Structure 1
Amino acid sequence: MRKVYCILFCFLFIVGAAAQNVAVINGKAISNKEFMWFYKKNHSGNANVSFDDLSSYLNLYVNFKLKVLDAKKMGLDKDTAYIAEVENYEYALHTQKRISKTNAEFVFIMNEYRDAVLMFNLSEMKIWNKAQNDESLLRSFYEKNKDAYLQRPFEEVSGQVIVDYQRKLERDWVESLKKTYTVKIYQDELRKLAKL
């Protein structure tokens, strides 16, 4: 009987813990609290939050977290320049003395900064530099999509070609990340967060 209670307790604990998360990416949970902190930070003045708005933002947030996971897999979080940049930012936060290290907001701010720098660095390598520094790839993309540019010469539309090629690279990257890492979204938790 004791074994049954133990199993039941473990099951309820796992279900309860999952009920506090909007998503899990490769085994790492995104809590309701973390997600809503980021949502509110980027959507100020939004008193009524719809499920569709939250769902769209969660999709973007998951894509962001997948890119960060990819950056960590590549070891970018071990780079000395990255570590120094994060330490300098943390020091700057401490000198403001508005937020203590034990404050939950401090943890969110530091995690956001760490992740954003990693995502930026990897995006620069995988998307921006590739799209701006390899004219042969750009011209090839242009040739495949010439109709979208109304047959105008490459030189006239090169700026738009770069933007479109960057979007394609990002779409392909995110698609490959979603095939590589497991993502579980808890729609019911997201619905609880929506204020209709």
Structure 2
Amino acid sequence: MPDRSDIETLIDLMARMPGLGPRSARRAVLHLIRKRALLLTPLADMMQTVAATARECLNCGNIGTSDICPICENNARANGLICVVEDVADLWAMERSGVFKGRYHVLGGTLSALDAVGPEDLRIPQLVTRIESEEITEVILALNATIDGQTTAHYIADQLEGRVTLTSLAQGVPIGGELDYLDDGTITAALNARKPV
């Protein structure tokens, strides 16, 4: 059995994860230790595997186990549509809805003066390159309905003006809402009712 300092270190590491504070992390670690064979050992093994194999798609920024993700490799999805999202969690939320059949582009964040995140810190130049090389006809800006998300959407719209049709998600996405927390029906309604930017 590990000594107390190892357990405390594990609790501290778990507490850094989104949605877990020190108490939740402590409960999770104690549960994992009690269910060592069923949960802790397989979890540790899988974490090592993912740490060794996970990589960012060179094309869109999705996370997978190969240099080009299955979405980008799927020729049926090369239909001229790109859905631009803030991060991979948003891409996965869109995929859960099962409605969008095009490809994605993950920006890796949003513009933020407070956090000193400028256009050069995001994957906006790669988006422009993809529009030219992949014969994109429509870009759907599926950014979170926050101030930073809207600022980023306006910046991208300025960069792409006259090159492609620009649309954004419509009804169903609340102001201040984040895609990863929306249900599939809300995402479906918002995607189906997208509007010109």
Instruction: Say whether the fold is shared (TM-score over 0.5).
Output: no
- For normalisation by structure 1, the TM-score amounts to 0.23
Higher helix share: 1
The structure with the larger Rg is 1
- For normalisation by structure 2, the TM-score amounts to 0.23
